[in-house]
Amino acid sequence: MLKAGIYSLGCPRNLVDSEIIAGSLKSNGFTICEAEDGVDICVINTCAFIESAREESVDKIMQAARLKKEGKIKYLIVCGCLPQLYKEKLAKELSEADLLLGTNDFKDLPGLIKRLGIGPTRTHVGRSLNYIYDERDPRLSLTPKHYAYVKISEGCSNACSYCIISRLRGRFRSRPIASIVNEVKQLSRPGVLKEINLIGQDTTFFGHDRYGKLKLAKLLGGICRLDNSVRWIRILYTHPKHYTDELISTIAREEKICKYLDIPVQHISDNILKKMNRGVSRRNIEDLIEKIRERIPGVILRTSIIVGFPGERDKDFNELLKFINDTKFERLGAFTYSKEEGTLSAKLKDQIPDEVKSERFDALMKLQRSISEKVLRRSIGKTLEVLVDEKCEDERNKFVGRTQGDAPEIDGVVYVSGHNIKVGEFYNVMITDSVEYDLIGERA
């Protein structure tokens, strides 16, 4: 029985693909293991969204190539975004790889592995990007058993000027509502699943391509009606352009839906938003935030910001800083603009020097740290519901968990002290302190 090690790089959307790869291999007789070496097959599912992600992917590939040269790995398989973007280049320069597979092609992996050494099977990167998994595909969880990601759509049609997602993943395509609801049923059957994280390139656009209308609210209603162990349903990657009153009302009404919304605004200056081709204005964004906070009391808002976009003047950046200071997002992630080959923004004049990007990034994060500290201090003395993710190594009765306002692997955590605590269960935790982006508490 061949042993396979799978390494997933990048975002949770990539992780779901890796789980499908793992499930497919396991259902075809392979043993899935976590070892770095000593495996017959090493599968690396790469990310190529921005330069830093590509560098991480290349580093991992080179590490695996060295292990193969030392005889500790028999076959090296590279799949996902990097081969999709650089098919010809990798085929020429990465002789160590036995297979190169794109984002649309990993469903064929078990059969391709069986053909290794028989014929010219090395590169399989399809031109058509139309694949999307469904609940019938084998899937092996690579997350803790108590939470899971469910990809509700694939690809993107927003055409943001800085983004290469459509080249990597194709145009936006939704899964059928019934398929997603059935998948949640299957995932929750063992009775240990507590949290579902719905993901896609643009979750608020869900259903428009398939049904002619935005259907995320209907999908959420279907999942909420299931009788299972899931207590939290979290929505990630929501584009501000595609919110509806029905969606906001559904989130406010349904107890299972986390009062946490991930709304990447990217910028606030109308000058930059237009160059980014975001399809929204400052007024649109501010009106949406005001409506959400008014109709969903206590909601936690996360956003993402890009600094140093081409043509970003001091005036635009100062406008962004004031907006962040006034809005006070509870969670915020920032990135310096990455000039990606083949994007419209790469051709824009007035590219910002790296040192200016770094200065603006530091200024933004300094402001957000101050905001975050004040937000976290408001929780001291309160009792919050916490889902425990893991036990602290080498410390008795110390655990790491999250509140409803913290997405796994993205936001802060709660360090919990207490007796008789089990991973994967909910506990009421009295918050006693805060540090940087995290909370500290004791089981109530």
- Per-10-residue mean pLDDT of the chain, 444 residues long, equals 90 95 93 82 92 91 92 91 89 87 85 70 70 92 96 96 93 98 95 97 97 98 96 98 98 98 98 98 98 97 98 98 98 96 94 97 97 97 98 90 97 96 97 95 96
Say yes or no: 66 and 179 in one domain.
Answer: no
Instruction: Indicate the number of domains in the chain.
Output: 3
pLDDT at 277: 97
Task: Give the pairing type, strands 195-199 and 147-151.
Answer: parallel
Q: Which of 350, 377, 404 is the last residue of a domain?
A: 377
Say yes or no: 366 and 427 in one domain.
Answer: no
Task: Give the pairing type, strands 300-307 and 331-336.
Answer: parallel
Say yes or no: 250 and 312 in one domain.
Answer: yes
Say yes or no: 241 and 107 in one domain.
Answer: no
Q: Is residue 140 part of a domain?
A: no
pLDDT at 123: 66
Say yes or no: 75 and 200 in one domain.
Answer: no
Distance from C-alpha of 93 to C-alpha of 10, rounded to nearest angstrom: 22
Q: Are 189 and 149 in contact (CB under 8 A)?
A: no
Residue 211, SS3 per DSSP:
helix
User: Residue 373: what are its φ and ψ, rounded to 5°?
Assistant: -60, -45
Q: Is residue 137 part of a domain?
A: no
Say yes or no: 393 and 345 in one domain.
Answer: no
- Helices vs strands, H then E, count in the chain: 14, 19
Distance from C-alpha of 416 to C-alpha of 400, rounded to nearest angstrom: 6
The three-point CA angle 37-40-45 to 5° equals: 75
Say yes or no: 236 and 283 in one domain.
Answer: yes
Q: Is residue 63 part of a domain?
A: yes
Say yes or no: 266 and 170 in one domain.
Answer: yes
Q: Is residue 432 part of a domain?
A: yes
Distance from C-alpha of 132 to C-alpha of 173, rounded to nearest angstrom: 8
Q: Are 414 and 402 in contact (CB under 8 A)?
A: yes
* Range of the structural domain that residue 407 is part of: 383-443
DSSP β-bridge partners for residue 100:
78, 123
Say yes or no: 371 and 392 in one domain.
Answer: no
Q: Which of 377, 395, 418 is the last residue of a domain?
A: 377
Q: Is residue 397 part of a domain?
A: yes
Say yes or no: 307 and 166 in one domain.
Answer: yes
Say yes or no: 309 and 431 in one domain.
Answer: no
Say yes or no: 152 and 51 in one domain.
Answer: no
CATH of the domain at 420: 2.40.50.140
Question: Measured in whole angstroms, how far is the alpha carbon of residue 3 from the centre of its chain?
Answer: 28
pLDDT at 126: 65
pLDDT at 430: 98
